[in-house]
């Protein structure tokens, strides 16, 4: 199946995940305000197209770490949680300022693993998302790292974004990463590695291609976590895309069906 046949501009509800490494300057680890401004503009334009939009944003720990002057990623769970508590407020303040320039209302939604495992909490969360979409609000989601260590262990919000896509019944999940998509081998080490344009069916051979590593000092998600996310998203009925978040303007290229990346075709399993 070719990329142009997916017609992503017809999607109704889209979840976008962006990682820490895509929000920060690699040289300093500080927030890249220009990239954040471009990201928000893209999200607001998707809203203007009539789409429901949800952003799953990493970056709280990275921002908090820089705020208190840590030069390396913290290892102790308590220190990660402290950095998250500091960084989450700063990250949301930055998003709020930029969204307000486009007269777009945003909301913060912090989730834990228990939110999804408890049927009552899960239904409450779903109702909240639906009401926010109805109001035209863009929810910004992150793991509640101050009380939960699930995201810290499972990788840069890849899994969380897929769970959110399933919860809100999105028809598209976009993972903005530091790589163009899924390759037949590690492109950093093998110049002959080829990008896979479309994955129509998840199977064991795909996981054999994944390298559970990341080239960033601020991100934690490798390709294995992205494939795990693809399993969750596609089985819930959403197409999923892995694309390079170096230029966040790729979002409108995706909607125009003209971009570089890997598409995982929806394959709902009831």
In a domain, 8, yes or no: no
Number of structural domains, the chain? 1
pLDDT of residue 236: 95
Residue 83 has a CB neighbour count (10 Å cut-off) of 24
Q: For 76-98, how does the pLDDT look when each residue is reduced to its tens digit (9 = 90+)?
A: 888 988 998 999 999 999 999 99
DSSP sequence for 187-203? TTT-TT--B--EESS--
Q: Does residue 7 fall inside a structural domain?
A: no
Interatomic CA distance for residues 88 and 99, integer angstroms: 16
Whether 125 is in a domain gets the answer: yes
Number of other residues whose CB lies within 10 A of the CB of residue 217: 14
Query: Domain range for residue 201?
Result: 16-264
pLDDT number for residue 147:
62
pLDDT at 215: 46
In a domain? residue 88: yes
Q: What's the whole-number mean pLDDT along residues 20-31?
A: 87
pTM: 0.90
Is 51:211 a contact under the CB 8 Å cutoff?
no
Residue 226 lies in a domain: yes
What confidence tens digit (pLDDT) does each residue in 145-190 have? 666 555 544 455 888 899 999 999 999 999 998 889 998 887 878 8
For residues 19 and 127, give the distance between their C-alpha atoms in angstroms, rounded to a whole number: 26
- Give the DSSP letter of residue 184: S
Q: What is the mean pLDDT of the chain?
A: 87
Cα four-point dihedral sign 211, 212, 217, 218:
positive
Query: Residue 262 corresponds to which tokens in the numbers above?
Result: 């890997």
For the record, the structure tokens of 85 come out as 């508590």
Of all residues in the chain, the percent with pLDDT exceeding 70 is 89
Torsion, Cα of 227, 20, 26, 240 (10° steps): 30
- Does residue 269 lie in a domain region? no
Q: Name the more confident of 216 and 265.
A: 265
Q: Is the pLDDT of residue 25 over 80?
A: yes
Across residues 200-204, what is the average pLDDT? Answer: 84
Confidence band (pLDDT; 50, 70, 90) for 207? confident
Put residue 205 in one of left, alpha, beta given phi > 0 → left and psi -120 to 50 → alpha.
alpha
**9 within some domain:** no
CA distance 251 to 162: 18
Tell me what pLDDT residue 12 has.
96
Q: For 214-244, what is each residue's pLDDT tens digit?
A: 444 433 447 888 999 999 999 999 999 999 9
Task: Inform me whether the pLDDT recorded for 67 exceeds 60.
Answer: yes
Percent of the chain with pLDDT over 90: 54
In a domain, 215, yes or no: yes
Task: For residue 127, give the CATH number of its domain.
Answer: 3.40.1160.10
pLDDT tens per residue across span 104-129? 999 999 887 778 888 999 999 999 99
């Amino acid at each position: 199946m070719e990329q142009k046949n997916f017609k992503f501009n017809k999607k109704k509800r889209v979840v976008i995940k962006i990682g820490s490494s895509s929000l920060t300057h690699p040289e300093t680890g500080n927030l890249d305000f220009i990239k954040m401004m471009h990201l928000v503009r893209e999200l607001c334009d998707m809203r203007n197209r009539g789409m429901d939009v949800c952003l799953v944003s990493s970056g709280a720990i990275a921002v908090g770490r820089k705020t208190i002057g840590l030069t390396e990623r913290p290892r102790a769970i308590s220190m990660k949680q402290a950095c998250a508590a500091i960084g989450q407020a700063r990250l949301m303040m930055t998003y709020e300022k930029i969204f307000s320039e486009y007269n777009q209302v945003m909301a913060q939604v912090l989730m834990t693993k228990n939110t999804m495992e408890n049927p009552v909490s899960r239904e409450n969360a779903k109702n909240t998302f639906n009401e926010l979409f109805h109001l035209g609000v863009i929810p910004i989601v992150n793991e509640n790292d101050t009380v939960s260590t699930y995201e810290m262990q499972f990788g840069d919000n890849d899994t969380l974004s897929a769970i959110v896509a399933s919860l809100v019944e999105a028809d598209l999940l976009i993972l903005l990463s530091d790589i163009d998509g899924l390759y037949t081998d590690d492109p950093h080490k093998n110049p002959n590695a080829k990008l896979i344009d479309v994955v129509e069916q998840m199977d064991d051979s795909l996981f054999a291609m994944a390298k559970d590593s990341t080239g960033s000092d601020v991100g934690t998600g490798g390709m294995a976590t992205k494939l795990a996310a693809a399993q969750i998203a596609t089985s819930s009925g959403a197409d999923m895309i892995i694309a390079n978040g170096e230029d966040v303007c790729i979002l409108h290229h995706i909607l125009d069906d003209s971009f570089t990346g890997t598409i995982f075709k929806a394959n709902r399993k009831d």
